[in-house]
Structures are given as C-alpha cells and as structure tokens.
C-alpha cells in the first residue's frame, strides 16, 4: 500500500507519520511526490512512467518499448504486434501504455514530440485511446507533435486518429485546445 511505498522516504527524512506533530513541509511533500513518481499509481488509474520505458520512448526504440509493454525486458525483438501476457515487472507491476510523466504526458505525447513515426503507429496499435489523451496542460499528442515542428508525426497522429477513433473524439483531437487556448494548428 501507500504506507509501505512512502515509508523509506519518511525514514530517510527521519519523519514519522505516527507522530501527531507530523506536518510535512513543502520540501517533504516534494520528496514524497518524487518518490511516488518512481512508480506509484495516480488517482485517475494511470501510473507514473518508469524511467526505462520513458528513455526507450524518447529515443524512439520501438522494439524495446513494445517488448517492455509485452512484459519482456525489451532486449529481444517482439513478434509483430504481440499480445503476450506481461511477465517483466517494474515496481511490482508490468509496464502499461497508460503510464504518464509528471506533466501527464503519455508514451504517445513523447513519441509524437520526438517525431518517432513507427513508435507512434505501434503505440496506437496497442492502445488507440492514447490518441485523445491530454496532459496537465491539456495538450493532445497532436499538440506535442505540432509544438515540436514534427510534421510527419502530426500527420501520423491525424491519419491514425481518422482510422481508429469515433467522430466526436476525432473532433476533440483536431480542434482541442490546450490550457493556453491553442489548437494544434495554432502551434504548427
């Protein structure tokens, strides 16, 4: 549970939650957030992204990402679009497509922002709901591609969205506004 997860952090800081005078400072809370970012689950059912999955996604290593999501170490090439049951765990659980960074970016936000077309396709094959995901700034993966100037990635996201999501969700992807009020077209 949560107590077991946070306990090492609290012990290192010599803070005891059983102490009724315990009142975490902003630094204590930030340290706890950082520890939670190492693999704890968020309130919305997603979980914080493990570093190995993040780095493989950022660098566009499609086979390694697919392997991690399929429960392998990522070293062996996966069978084409494998649906193997996860057996490789990090933080006591398998890697999942719904893992997010501290800013709420999904694997697809990262791949789109870096322009990794084959990884974008693989991620959408594994979980097409990633196409309409939003981060804390209300950016969709299309916003991420447009902001980074990745025209090929933006085109891939739009093409995959047209093929895999319903009309209402497609409108949200194409016309969605971030927290600054910008659509992906504004950012392109």
For the stretch 111-144, pLDDT in tens is 999 999 999 999 999 999 999 999 999 999 999 9
Give the chain's domain count: 2
Same-domain check for residues 145 and 67: yes
Euclidean distance between CA atoms 100 and 47, whole angstroms: 6
Same-domain check for residues 29 and 69: no
Cβ neighbors of 147 (< 8 A, separation 6 or more) are 113, 139, 187
111 neighbors 69 (Cβ within 8 angstroms)? no
| C-alpha triplet 178, 141, 104: angle, nearest 5° | 70
Q: Which burial class, exposed, middle or buried, applies to 70 when counting CB atoms under 10 A from its CB (0-12, 13-18, 19+)? A: buried
Same-domain check for residues 134 and 96: yes
Q: Note down the domain range covering 10.
A: 1-37
Higher per-residue confidence, 39 vs 98: 98
Q: Which burial class, exposed, middle or buried, applies to 146 when counting CB atoms under 10 A from its CB (0-12, 13-18, 19+)? A: buried
Q: Give the predicted TM-score (pTM) of the model.
A: 0.70
Domain of residue 73, CATH code: 1.25.40.20
Same-domain check for residues 155 and 127: yes
Structure confidence by residue, pLDDT tens digits, 45-83: 568 898 999 999 999 999 999 999 988 764 544 444 444
Same-domain check for residues 150 and 171: yes
Same-domain check for residues 68 and 159: yes
Residue 41: band (very low, low, confident or very high) from pLDDT cuts 50, 70, 90: very low
| Mean pLDDT computed over every residue of the chain | 77
């Amino acid at each position: 549970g949560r107590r077991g997860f946070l306990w090492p952090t609290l012990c290192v800081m010599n803070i005891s939650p059983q102490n009724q005078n315990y009142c975490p400072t902003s630094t204590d809370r930030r340290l706890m957030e950082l520890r939670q970012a190492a693999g704890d689950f968020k309130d919305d059912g997603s979980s914080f992204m493990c570093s190995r999955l993040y780095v493989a996604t950022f660098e566009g290593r499609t086979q390694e990402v697919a392997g991690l999501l399929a429960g392998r170490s990522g070293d062996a090439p996966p069978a084409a679009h494998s649906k193997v049951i996860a057996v490789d765990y990090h933080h006591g659980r398998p890697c999942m497509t719904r893992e997010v960074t501290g800013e709420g970016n999904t694997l697809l936000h990262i791949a789109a922002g870096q322009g990794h077309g084959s990884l974008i396709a693989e991620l959408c094959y594994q979980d097409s709901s990633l196409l309409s995901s939003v981060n804390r700034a209300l950016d969709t993966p299309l916003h991420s591609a447009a902001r980074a100037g990745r025209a090929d990635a933006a085109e891939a996201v739009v093409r995959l969205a047209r093929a895999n999501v319903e009309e209402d969700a497609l409108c949200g992807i194409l016309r969605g506004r971030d927290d600054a009020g910008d659509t992906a077209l504004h950012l392109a």
